């Protein structure tokens, strides 16, 4: 019971996680079959847009895991995780942009369209190397990781905690948004990077590529989940949880709190970057809007709705809130912000542990009932 309360249940018996992993596996088998093997007129056939939508949700779920790791287990409420997601996305977008080659509107083999439009003569140095897939993938990991390292090192070292940290992370993503909106930055300004053609030679519009991207997203999500679970289950994870619950005590015992926090923060940022890199080829665009503080804070709500500190709760939250968003913006767009706002309030006041907490509460009630009967 006590273990359960502090979110340590994951150590012994991650039932929720196992359910989630089996569901994910089922999806990985069903979706390709439904999309590729079923004939188009069959009622079991899955349209390409559905595959892409699911793939998008999967990348969001990975992002939610990244946030849950720092917020749910380390107590760092980052309001700027969208920035790491977007940076990963931009790194992927830059690779896809270089892949367009001379098929752009201006037909310049070397420069992307927006640079030709701005009358630039040559590729800026930070675009070099992005024509190679491995380099771009390295950057997907390195850029968000390095930013998190520098930022986290500065912040944790001077013991910026709680709401202060939340606000400066928000300022960070806000500053990045302003910067990426500038045309002079060389990242496409307002319009961002788009009009991608293919990835590793595979056509991005084709059904097969979409299904492959979906499978990769699902695989990465499963790997991300397992890695996060491994970390939480390790000794390091226990220290991190101790830091969340009593930072000073952990420090007095002799742990270097800053290093632990920093390590988790950087790992989380890398996960977020990978999520961004999975997201971009599926939606086909990345623009500075991804840096907006609202995006990062919406992400916090996914985790809060699902239930923080459980990993699989974050995944559930990401799916539920995003499905609701897709539904509302399609049917009654005016209501979406009302619903989102209400969600923030209801979850924080009535559901501090999210949906997962609600289910757990319901289950313990039942178990008690069972125990009482024979006596």
Partner 1 sequence: MCISTFVNRFFAVFIVCCYSLLSSVNVLAAELDESVSFESIIPKLVTKSYQEKEIIISELSALEDVRILPVYKEMLEGKLYYAKKTNKIVFIREVSDGLAITDVVSNEDLGVVGKRELKKVKVNNKLRGMLRGEIAKLSIKSKDSMVRQAAVIELIRDLDVESIGLLRSALQVEKDEDVRELIHTALAVDDVKSDDREIRMSAVMVLKDSLYPEAKQALKKLLEKDDSGEYIEKDYKIRRAAQGALKTIESRVKVNAFAETVFFGLSLGSVLLLSAIGLAITFGVMGVINMAHGEMMMLGAYTTYIIQSLLPAYIDYSLFISIPAAFIVAGLFGIAIERGIIRFLYGRPLETLLATFGVSLILQQLVRTTISAQNVTVSTPEWMSGSLQLNPILSITYNRLYIIVFSLMVFFALLYVLKKTILGLQVRAVSQNRAMAKAMGVRSDWVDALTFGLGSGVAGIAGVALSQLTNVGPNLGQAYIIDSFMVVVFGGVGNIWGTLVGAMSLGVVNKFLEPWSGAVLAKIFVLVFIILFIQKRPRGLFPQKGRAAEH
Which residues make up the interface to partner 1 (CB under 8 A)?
77, 151, 154-155, 157-160, 162-164, 166-168, 170-172, 174-175, 178-179, 181-182, 293, 297, 300-301, 304, 334, 337-338, 340-345, 347-349, 352
Question: What does the alpha-carbon distance between residue 280 and residue 180 come to, in Å, rounded to a whole number?
Answer: 16
Beta carbon nearer to partner 1, 196 or 265: 265
Q: How far is the CB of 305 from partner 1 (least distance, A)?
A: 11
Q: How far is the CB of 57 from partner 1 (least distance, A)?
A: 22
Beta carbon nearer to partner 1, 331 or 345: 345
Q: How far is the CB of 36 from partner 1 (least distance, A)?
A: 40
Phi, psi (degrees; rounded to nearest 5) at 172:
-60, -50
106: left (phi over 0), alpha (psi -120 to 50) or beta: alpha
**Three-state SS at 42:** coil
Beta carbon nearer to partner 1, 107 or 352: 352
Q: How many CB atoms lie within 10 A of CB 6?
A: 12
**Quick check: 57 and 63 in contact, CB under 8 A?**
no
Beta carbon nearer to partner 1, 52 or 170: 170
Question: What does the alpha-carbon distance between residue 57 and residue 13 come to, in Å, rounded to a whole number?
Answer: 26
Q: How far is the CB of 72 from partner 1 (least distance, A)?
A: 12
Beta carbon nearer to partner 1, 25 or 178: 178
Q: How far is the CB of 18 from partner 1 (least distance, A)?
A: 30
Beta carbon nearer to partner 1, 183 or 326: 183
Question: What does the alpha-carbon distance between residue 225 and residue 342 come to, in Å, rounded to a whole number?
Answer: 29
Q: How far is the CB of 159 from partner 1 (least distance, A)?
A: 6
Beta carbon nearer to partner 1, 176 or 218: 176
Q: How far is the CB of 193 from partner 1 (least distance, A)?
A: 19
Q: How many CB atoms lie within 10 A of CB 296?
A: 27
Beta carbon nearer to partner 1, 46 or 177: 177
Phi, psi (degrees; rounded to nearest 5) at 203:
-65, 125
**Quick check: 220 and 274 in contact, CB under 8 A?**
yes
Beta carbon nearer to partner 1, 107 or 162: 162
Q: How far is the CB of 349 from partner 1 (least distance, A)?
A: 5
Nearest of 71, 92, 66, 77 to residue 227 by alpha carbon: 66
Question: What does the alpha-carbon distance between residue 96 and residue 192 come to, in Å, rounded to a whole number?
Answer: 12
Question: What does the alpha-carbon distance between residue 282 and residue 225 come to, in Å, rounded to a whole number?
Answer: 21
Phi, psi (degrees; rounded to nearest 5) at 347:
-65, -45
Question: What does the alpha-carbon distance between residue 111 and residue 119 come to, in Å, rounded to a whole number?
Answer: 10
Q: How far is the CB of 345 from partner 1 (least distance, A)?
A: 4
* Beta-strand runs (E) in 162-215: 193-194, 198-199, 202-203
Question: What does the alpha-carbon distance between residue 200 and residue 132 come to, in Å, rounded to a whole number?
Answer: 9
Interior/surface letters 41-69, b for 16+ CB within 10 angstroms, e for the rest: eeeeebebeebbbbbbbbbbbbbbbbbbb
Phi, psi (degrees; rounded to nearest 5) at 202:
-95, 135
Q: How far is the CB of 154 from partner 1 (least distance, A)?
A: 5
Beta carbon nearer to partner 1, 106 or 164: 164
């Amino acid at each position: 019971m006590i273990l359960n309360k502090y979110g340590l249940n994951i150590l012994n018996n991650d039932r929720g996680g196992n359910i989630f992993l089996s569901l994910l596996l089922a999806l990985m088998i069903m979706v390709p079959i439904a999309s590729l093997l079923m004939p188009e007129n069959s009622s079991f056939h899955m349209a390409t847009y559905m595959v892409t939508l699911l793939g998008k949700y999967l990348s969001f779920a990975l992002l939610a895991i990244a946030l849950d790791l720092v917020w749910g287990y380390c107590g760092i409420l980052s309001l700027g995780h969208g920035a790491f997601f977007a940076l990963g996305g931009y790194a992927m977008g830059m690779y896809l942009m270089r892949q367009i080659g001379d098929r752009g509107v201006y037909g310049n083999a070397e420069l992307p369209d927006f640079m030709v439009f701005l009358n630039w003569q040559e590729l800026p140095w930070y675009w070099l190397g992005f024509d190679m897939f491995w380099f771009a993938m390295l950057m997907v990991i390195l850029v968000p990781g390095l930013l998190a390292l520098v930022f986290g090192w500065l912040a944790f070292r001077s013991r910026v905690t709680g709401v202060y940290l939340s606000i400066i992370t928000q300022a960070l993503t806000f500053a990045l948004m302003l910067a990426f909106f500038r045309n002079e930055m060389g990242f496409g300004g307002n319009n961002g990077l788009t009009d991608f053609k293919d990835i590793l030679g595979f056509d991005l519009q084709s059904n097969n590529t979409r299904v492959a991207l979906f499978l990769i997203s699902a695989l990465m999500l499963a790997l991300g989940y397992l890695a996060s679970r491994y970390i939480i289950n390790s000794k390091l994870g226990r220290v991190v949880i101790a830091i969340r619950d009593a930072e000073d005590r952990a420090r007095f015992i002799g742990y270097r709190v800053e290093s632990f926090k920093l390590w988790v923060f950087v790992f989380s940022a890398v996960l977020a970057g990978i999520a961004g890199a999975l997201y971009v080829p599926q939606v086909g665009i990345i623009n500075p809007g991804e840096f907006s503080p609202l995006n990062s804070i919406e992400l916090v709500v996914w985790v809060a709705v699902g239930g923080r500190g459980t990993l699989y709760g974050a995944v559930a939250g990401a799916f539920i809130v995003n499905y609701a968003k897709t539904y509302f913006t399609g049917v009654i767009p005016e209501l979406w912000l009302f619903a989102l706002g209400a969600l923030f309030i209801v979850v924080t006041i009535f559901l501090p542990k999210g949906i997962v907490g609600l289910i757990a509460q319901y289950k313990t009630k039942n178990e008690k009932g069972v125990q009482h009967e024979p006596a």
